[in-house]
Structure formats: C-alpha cells, structure tokens
Amino acid sequence: MILGIETSCDETAAALIDADGNILASVVASQDELHARFGGVVPEIASRRHLELVTPVIRQALADAGARLDDLDAVGVTTQPGLIGALLVGVSAAKALAWARRLPLISVNHLHGHVASLYLRPLDLEPPFTCLLASGGHTMVLDVQDRGGYRVLGTTLDDAAGEAFDKGARLLGLGYPGGKEIDALARQGDPTAYSFPVARVPGLDFSFSGLKTSLLYKVRDLSPTELEMRRADLAAGYQRAIVRALVGRVEAVAAGGPIAVVGGVAANSELRAALPGATLAPLSLCTDNAAMIASAARYTAPVPYPGYLSLDARSTA
Ligand SMILES: Nc1ncnc2c1ncn2[C@@H]1O[C@H](COP(=O)(O)OP(=O)(O)OP(=O)(O)O)[C@@H](O)[C@H]1O
Ligand SMILES: [Mg+2]
C-alpha cells in the first residue's frame, strides 16, 4: 500500500493506493475559498493552511481505507515543481512518517503525477501515447513511452492554458478559479460571435498571451451593461480558441496515434468533446490530488533511508 501526499499548490491531499493501482482512499482539501477573494493563490496563506490540514487529511485517508500506518509499504510525496513553502509542508510530513516507520520515501514530480493519473484503475492506460498536459501552471505535449517518465516535445512560451482560463475569467468578472466558471458560462454563449486569435507558434510550442490581450481589448470596448449581455459569447469564443490551440497541437504531434489528456484543464467539457478518441483523465483526477502522486510513486525509484532525510523541495521541475 502506498500513501501519496500532495501539497504543491492550494490543495492539501492524501491518498492510498494498492500495488495494482486501485484507489483505496483519496482525500482532497481545497483552499479555493481561502484564496478566492485575492483572485489567485497567495503562497504564504497556502503554506499555513497546508500545515493545519496535512495531518487531518492523512488521517482521513487512512480512515477511509480502513488502514493503519502499519499497513503502509511506502510514502510518495510531491517534491517539485510548485510553491516552495507549500511543497515543504508535504515533504516534511512524508519524511516524518517514513522515518518513524522506516519506510521507503519516493520523491515524485508533480507533472509525472498528472500523467500517472492515467495508470490508476480502472483506466490503467499502457504507453506509448502522446499526452497533452494542461494545468494551472503548465501546458505541454509529451511523448510517453513507458510509465517511468516522458519526453517533453512542446511547452507554452508564456501562460499555461489553465492560467489563460483563470486570467480570462478575471477579465470577464467571473469567480476564481476561472476554468470551471468559463466552462459553465460558455455553454450559454455563441462561440462564433467574436473572433479570437489562435497563435501560430513555430515548432511544437503554445502561446496564450495574445489571446488574453485580445479578450482584454474586447472587454474594454464594452460598457458594463453591454458586457453583461455579451459575457457568455465572450466566454464561449475565448474557450473555443484555447481548445482549438490545444487540440490542433496534440493531434498534429500524435499523427493518428493514441492521445491522452491530463491536468486541470482536461476537465473542460469542450476539450473533452473535441477529442472523442482520446483517453481522458477521470474528472476527479484532473485537478490536483494525491492518488496520482501515489500512482507515479509506483514507477519511481525510492530514496533509501536515511538519505531521504536530506531530500529538499524545488520550485521548478
Ligand atoms: N472545467 C474546466 N475548464 C477549464 N479549465 C479548468 C476546468 N476545471 C479546472 N480548470 C483549470 O485547471 C487549473 C488547475 O489545474 P491543476 O490543479 O492541475 O493545476 P495546478 O496544480 O495549479 O498547476 P500545475 O499542475 O501546473 O502545477 C486551473 O487553472 C483551473 O482554472
Ligand atoms: Mg497540478
């Protein structure tokens, strides 16, 4: 049984999986409400909240699975990339547990975690496949040949897709986090009412900053009453442009081969509908969770005792 711990951003999460990749328990305590009034994650507030939540969340995961610390075989924890203070809370908790029980500790890359959400049952996806990873901080096309890792083929040159959703939502006067809000509002709008640019980036990379500027100008030209009337159309057009950029790139790279989609933006309903043949991460595993971290831990070599006591968190991958 592997305990996964995730505290890289504003979700405090713990999960238990078995050796076959079945999820026995997955607890996610979101801090969304805490950060909503600031319109984004405040790192210091996130760290402090993780500190309060990490023990109760791990306890809850054990209770949900009907397990005890004695049942654990390993502890996997996100060590990178993320907010450094937030990561350190999970890393310290994992070290303490592993050391007290003399368990192996596994250092997990959060992005590998997102990809490994596909390796949990019942999905249990086997590489090779081309993976679109679209989240709050990253947008990448990956070549996945085995479960132990991946090769980055393309990445965003500026904003991540999730960041584009969140910033767009803010311009439209919607709540935080914005992806879900735009997704819901776009269903009531006409995606062809406004034209948004899809950046032509050479190679396999992405760019979303021009799109954001285009929305800014469109919103600026409207009076508050007009914006009220056109908000759904703007959301629909903006979302369509993001989805087009993502789908166009991943389909070109995959060249007819298998495609998988992971990360918070994989929850987007238009993106899911636009890739009917693709393997999509289950909705509960798109945004941050610890089951995916435990899953990645299955395919990562443990750091032996006592060397892991000097393991550190890193803000970049
Ligand atoms: N239905 C949706 N449509 C579009 N975007 C969505 C949807 N649901 C969530 N998102 C976006 O997903 C992002 C959060 O995803 P995730 O939790 O994977 O990101 P993160 O962990 O903050 O970043 P990273 O994984 O890159 O470190 C947010 O930007 C949010 O707006
Ligand atoms: Mg994430």
Q: What are the pLDDT tens digits along the chain (317 aa)?
A: 999 999 999 999 999 999 999 999 999 999 888 888 888 889 999 999 999 999 999 999 999 999 999 999 999 999 999 999 999 999 999 999 999 999 999 999 999 999 999 999 999 999 999 999 999 999 999 999 999 999 999 999 999 999 999 999 999 999 888 999 999 999 999 999 999 998 889 899 999 999 999 999 999 999 999 999 999 999 999 999 999 999 999 999 999 999 999 999 999 999 999 999 999 999 999 999 999 999 999 999 999 888 999 999 999 98
The domain spanning residue 246 has which CATH number?
Answer: 3.30.420.40
d(CA 108, CA 149): 11
Residue 40: predicted pLDDT = 83
d(CA 229, CA 79): 45
Residues β-bridged to residue 82: none
* Ligand 2 midpoint to CA 304 (Å): 26
48 and 185, same domain (yes or no)? no
174 and 69, same domain (yes or no)? no
Q: Residue 71: CB partners within 8 Å, gap ≥ 6?
A: 1
**Does 104 sit behind a cis peptide bond, omega within 30 degrees of 0 on the bond before it?**
no
235 and 101, same domain (yes or no)? no
Closest listed ligand to the CA of 267: 1
Looking at the structure of the chain, the number of domains it has is: 2
270 and 297, same domain (yes or no)? no
132 and 276, same domain (yes or no)? yes
Minimal CA–CA distance to 131: which of 10, 265, 2?
Answer: 265
pTM: predicted TM-score of the whole model, two decimal places: 0.96
Residue 34: predicted pLDDT = 87
d(CA 97, CA 77): 11
Domain extent at residue 188: 128-280
Atom 19 (ligand 1) nearest CA: 136
Residue 140: predicted pLDDT = 98
Residue 154: predicted pLDDT = 97
252 and 296, same domain (yes or no)? no
- Tally the C-alpha atoms within 13 A of residue 80's C-alpha that lie toward its C-beta: 8
Minimal CA–CA distance to 103: which of 72, 65, 142?
Answer: 72
139 and 196, same domain (yes or no)? yes
Q: Is the CB of 127 under 6 A from ligand 1?
A: no
261 and 141, same domain (yes or no)? yes
CA 140 to chain centre: 12
**Ligand 1 pocket test: which of 242, 287, 315 has the largest number of ligand atoms within 8 Å of its C-beta?**
287
**C-alpha pair distances (Å), 280 with each of 18, 65, 192, 229, 276:** 22, 26, 26, 34, 9
75 and 215, same domain (yes or no)? no
Looking at residue 87, its amino acid is L
Atom 26 (ligand 1) nearest CA: 137
Domain assignment present for 123: no
Q: Is the CB of 135 under 6 A from ligand 1?
A: yes
Q: Residue 218: CB partners within 8 Å, gap ≥ 6?
A: 194, 234
Atom 20 (ligand 1) nearest CA: 136
Domain assignment present for 317: no
79 and 141, same domain (yes or no)? no
Two tokens, residue 268: 């987007």
**Does 306 sit behind a cis peptide bond, omega within 30 degrees of 0 on the bond before it?**
yes
- Tally the C-alpha atoms within 13 A of residue 67's C-alpha that lie toward its C-beta: 23
